[in-house]
């Protein structure tokens, strides 16, 4: 049995940020990352990375330019509401679109440079003892961080079930030639037919785009219906490498328990219910978990408090916005208001892709744009 100060399960954005933050908080800390995959590995995703996620990583000493090298920033965003209201504007800062096979490998390599060790290992069993946490009878840890994604084994070991089907989305994505007229534009098209549901096209800058379609699991869609949704909203795209994956939305996030086991990223159901954005939350929660990991049995409580201080208000606002957006006319009004006013557009983007709030300005403008 090997002992480590911190064991991180999962080397995706949450796990990599966590490992880097744990070493930064206390440079002598012995940190082991376990991942079932060999890197580089693919991750089903839209590949859209908010600038705020890169800011978090820069704060951990990981150079954003090295993460996005070769992939030009995407300056504009086009939004179409279920009823057809369209807003297209420059974003306050360009977004990055980098295939996750590339981005996650670069990020994990950056995190390992801080002195973390990586092993390929499929975690199956976690047992919590008063003084340590045991993993598969092979490792013990002072603190264990579950950054093992949407189907987290660590979360299950804590006795926390999956999100309810109406707080869980499923999406399919592939790579296709960039649809005409979308160079330099991230496109998000909502569907009036099976709302809440939407398709996206995010350009990689080399003539290809990541395209996909998602909706709530409670809608009961199978693979063929997801593909039909994609074809309805982005007619004529012929994507390859099609794969689907689930998105545990923050509206169903569990309470972080006290103790030596922390959950970060998708394992903690930290995905924006309005947009499916999860990378910003993953690196932010990973960084906070890493900073708390040196606190032993107090780590769970310290981390829960830090998460609440940093994201609590935003998560309440995005949940409220997601709840009201069930009425598609609310989205029509919000996107109509965003089309008319750059400041409202910026507020909407900040709420959907980072840590923004439902501002009085946006609520007033949306009220004026009700049809
Ligand atoms: C179709 C789709 C589109 C999306 N589009 C976007 C987007 O454009 N922008 C955005 O910000 N977010 C998007 N998301 C959400 C985003 O992909 C996730 O929020 C993000 O990957 C979460 O990072 P993570 O580190 O928590 O988990 P992951 O990236 O899933 O990493 C988890 C890691 O844990 C490892 N692992 C899992 N189980 C075990 C185990 N038992 N033992 C050892 N290792 C294990 C895996 O191999 C993996 O490397 C999308 C999601 C989907 C499904």
Question: Using one digit for the tens of pLDDT, what is the confidence trace for 3-37?
Answer: 999 999 999 999 999 999 999 999 999 999 999 99
d(CA 151, CA 181) in angstroms, rounded, equals 37
pLDDT at 143: 98
* Pairing status of strand 31-35 against strand 117-120: parallel
The encoded tokens of residue 314 equal: 């935003």
Burial class of residue 27 (count of CB atoms within 10 Å of its CB; 0-12, 13-18, 19+): exposed
Q: Which of 15, 34, 35 to mutate to test the pocket of ligand 1 (most atoms within 8 A of CB)?
A: 35
Cα angle vertex 140, ends 138, 142, to 5°? 165
* Pairing status of strand 126-128 against strand 240-248: unpaired
φ/ψ bin of 260: left (φ > 0), alpha (ψ from -120 to 50), beta (otherwise): alpha
43 CA closest ligand 1 atom index: 29
d(CA 246, CA 292) in angstroms, rounded, equals 28
The encoded tokens of residue 256 equal: 């972080």
Name beta bridge partners: 199: 189, 213
- Assess contact for 157 and 133: CB atoms under 8 A: no
Residue 176 has pLDDT above 80, yes or no: yes
17 lines ligand 1 (CB under 6 A): no
pTM (predicted TM-score): 0.98
> Model confidence over 292-340: pLDDT tens digits?
999 999 999 999 999 999 999 999 999 999 999 989 999 999 999 999 9
Q: How far is CA 173 from CA 214, 231, 242, in A?
A: 9, 12, 5
Burial class of residue 105 (count of CB atoms within 10 Å of its CB; 0-12, 13-18, 19+): middle
> Model confidence over 49-74: pLDDT tens digits?
999 999 999 999 999 999 999 999 99
Centre of ligand 1 from the C-alpha of residue 369, in Å: 36
270 CA closest ligand 1 atom index: 19
> Model confidence over 253-289: pLDDT tens digits?
999 999 999 999 999 999 999 999 999 999 999 999 9
Residue owning the nearest CA to atom 35 of ligand 1: 10
Centre of ligand 1 from the C-alpha of residue 95, in Å: 19
Centre of ligand 1 from the C-alpha of residue 149, in Å: 5
- List of E strands, 132-205: 133-135, 139-146, 168-177, 185-190, 197-203
Residue 217 DSSP one-character state: G
Q: How far is CA 350 from CA 190, 285, 362, in A?
A: 18, 17, 12
């Amino acid at each position: 049995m090997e002992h480590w100060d911190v064991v991180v399960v999962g080397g995706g954005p949450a796990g990599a940020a966590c490992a880097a933050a744990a070493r930064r908080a206390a440079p002598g800390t012995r940190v082991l990352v376990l991942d079932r995959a060999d890197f580089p590995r693919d991750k089903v995703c839209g590949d859209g990375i908010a600038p705020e996620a890169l800011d978090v990583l820069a704060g951990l000493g990981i150079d954003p330019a090295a993460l996005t090298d070769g992939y030009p920033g995407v300056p504009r965003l086009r939004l179409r509401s279920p009823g057809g209201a369209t807003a297209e504007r420059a974003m306050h800062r360009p977004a990055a679109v980098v295939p996750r096979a590339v981005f996650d490998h670069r990020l994990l390599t950056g995190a390992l440079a801080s002195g973390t060790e990586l092993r390929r290992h499929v975690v199956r069993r976690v047992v919590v003892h008063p003084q340590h946490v045991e993993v598969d009878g092979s490792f013990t840890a002072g603190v264990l961080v579950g950054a093992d994604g949407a189907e987290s084994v660590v979360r299950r070991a804590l006795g926390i079930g999956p999100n309810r089907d109406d707080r869980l989305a499923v999406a399919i994505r592939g790579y296709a030639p960039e649809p005409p007229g979308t160079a330099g534009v991230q496109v998000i098209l909502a569907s009036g037919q099976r709302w809440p549901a939407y398709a996206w096209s995010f350009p990689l800058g080399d003539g290809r785009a990541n395209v996909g379609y998602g909706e709530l699991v409670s809608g009961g869609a199978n693979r063929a219906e997801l593909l039909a949704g994609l074809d309805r909203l982005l007619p004529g795209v012929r994507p390859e490498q099609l794969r689907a994956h689930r998105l545990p939305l923050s509206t169903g996030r569990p309470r972080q328990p006290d103790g030596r086991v922390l959950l970060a990223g998708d394992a903690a159901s930290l995905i924006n219910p309005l947009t499916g954005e999860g990378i910003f939350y993953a690196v932010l929660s990973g960084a906070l978990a890493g900073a708390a990991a040196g606190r032993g049995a107090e780590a769970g409580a310290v981390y829960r408090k830090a998460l609440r201080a940093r994201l609590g208000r935003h998560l309440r606002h995005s949940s409220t916005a997601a709840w009201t957006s069930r009425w598609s006319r609310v989205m029509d009004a919000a996107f109509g208001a965003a089309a008319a006013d750059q400041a409202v557009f910026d507020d909407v983007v900040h709420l959907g892709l980072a840590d923004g709030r439902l501002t009085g300005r946006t609520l007033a403008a949306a009220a004026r744009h009700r049809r």
